[in-house]
Chain A
């Protein structure tokens, strides 16, 4: 599956999220590609799933597709839980 992680600049915390999601993919044995991007480019990027910080919820109102909002960007288990809910 194609996954896009997002943050304001698209270079800092979205990269951290990307690394977290990649770890989860590997641990769960799911095949997928993860890319990190800035918020503004989200609309132009088709993805099966977007992963983004909770405080950016209002910025993604127009983006179509599945989005999971993460409250604590450093909490891998939160990402895993929300990710698996979508995948299953």
Chain B
């Protein structure tokens, strides 16, 4: 009997099954047909397995790169890419995978309950960001040696609070861009993007709108992830290989020509990214609709916090400006990071385009054309410098995850605060301080919101 129970517990604790059960619940709540329930549950479980395969491929293709980079420049280079970090950690450490799924699900419920009872009426619906945050929390608490139960309790609570509060930070700018108060910004780059936009405001001039500019359309192919990731990884891999030199490269490439080897490895990384995203797509496709249904039912009139492209059409030229100027920002940040003695975060093109572009849009809203450019540049620094400073705080390579780094600014901020709180020896103090700040914010926010409504 005990064997049956332990087998049962073993099945229940498998990450793919946990997520499958969550999807199953969601589908039942939505009153889907029997075939839809079966299909959705299976797809969710498959999604998690595909995701692990993609993460494995990414790590496999990056493994020689880290060593090559060290041979060439005597520095440790990492590719900042959150999905790969969480995916690979989930693959290597079962406990992290399991807690990630649970924090994702329970954290969402915390978000909904808090949206119901506090003045912050935001429901965070950007699924891959929720997953990255949940994964980051599961990783942090695992690394700090926190017990399984406490990881789930604190992780879910923090997850819910973070998802609730982040959209509020960006909302004043979002209102300016969209001209209404119906949707919110739901992304883990909020702190970076908003801070960059305010720097843009200081040095910018809101009288000159970036949207009046003429810009070539040639850059839009960067929106295609497969193309942009492949191109950038090819360039990074080839430059590193050339600096490593043909002789040393033989160590990695064997009989293969080292240029051909680098091209294949660079493309192999991109292939891993596409597989990983396919997995993410499968499981989010079943879970997010359920989250949306539940959230909007429990909190009527809530603002859904949505992914970045929702805002692109409001300011396409600012988007391009932000992206273009994020590139020199990332290069400067890369150079600055080389003095920290930790890791060198290589330019992240997905980060540069999607969220650098978002910094451009926010920057334009506050500081016009110049504000947009400056915000893009400053955000490029956010994509590199904090990544290098944060890298040593939690073990990563020790778990067999090499060559990638955690990128999103809000995730870095939250995990750093957790580390700080634990380093005092009394992490409970950190939690209490946070609770006090949260209550204070609720009261202030309520007043401000009422003022806003009066103005309308």
Interface residues of A (CB under 8 A from B): 7-13, 15-16, 18-19, 22, 36-41, 53-56, 58-59, 70-74
Counting CB contacts under 8 A, is B342 at the interface?
A: no
Q: Which residue of A lies closest to B229 (CB)?
A: A40
B183, B285, B309: which contacts A7 (Cβ < 8 A)?
B309
16 residue pairs A–B, Cβ–Cβ below 8 Å: A10-B281, A11-B127, A12-B306, A12-B307, A12-B309, A15-B284, A36-B281, A39-B224, A39-B225, A39-B226, A53-B309, A53-B313, A54-B313, A58-B221, A59-B224, A73-B313
B183, B223, B308, B313: which contacts A71 (Cβ < 8 A)?
B313
- B227 cross-chain contacts in A, Cβ below 8 A: 40
Question: Which residues of chain B (194-245) have a CB below 8 Å from chain A?
Answer: 217, 220-221, 223-227
- B224 cross-chain contacts in A, Cβ below 8 A: 8, 38-40, 59
| B interface, over-half SS | helix
B127 and A55 contact, CB distance less than 8 A:
no
Q: Which residue of A lies closest to B289 (CB)?
A: A19
Counting CB contacts under 8 A, is B292 at the interface?
A: yes
With contacts A12-B308, A40-B226, A55-B316 known, what are 16 further pairs, Cβ within 8 A? A7-B309, A10-B225, A10-B277, A10-B281, A12-B126, A15-B288, A37-B281, A38-B225, A39-B226, A40-B274, A41-B226, A53-B309, A55-B309, A55-B319, A56-B220, A58-B217
Question: Which residues of chain B (243-294) have a CB below 8 Å from chain A?
Answer: 274, 277, 280-281, 284-285, 288-289, 292
B221, B281, B319: which contacts A59 (Cβ < 8 A)?
B221
> In the complex, what distance in Å separates the CA atom of A37 from the CA atom of B281?
8
Given A10-B277, A12-B307, check contact A18 B285 (CB 8 Å).
Answer: yes
The tally of CB-CB contacts under 8 A between chains A and B is 97
B221, B281, B310: which contacts A16 (Cβ < 8 A)?
B310
A13 and B307 contact, CB distance less than 8 A:
yes
- Taking the closest CB of chain B, its distance from the CB of A50, in whole angstroms, is 14
A58 and B220 contact, CB distance less than 8 A:
yes
B220 and A59 contact, CB distance less than 8 A:
yes
- A36 cross-chain contacts in B, Cβ below 8 A: 281, 285
B306 and A13 contact, CB distance less than 8 A:
yes
> In the complex, what distance in Å separates the CA atom of A22 from the CA atom of B292?
13
A16 and B220 contact, CB distance less than 8 A:
no
Q: Which residue of B lies closest to A35 (CB)?
A: B285
Q: Which residue of A lies closest to B309 (CB)?
A: A13
A73 and B277 contact, CB distance less than 8 A:
no
A11, A18, A41: which contacts B280 (Cβ < 8 A)?
A11
- A71 cross-chain contacts in B, Cβ below 8 A: 313
Q: Which residue of A lies closest to B230 (CB)?
A: A40
- Taking the closest CB of chain B, its distance from the CB of A11, in whole angstroms, is 5
Given A55-B312, A58-B220, check contact A12 B127 (CB 8 Å).
Answer: yes
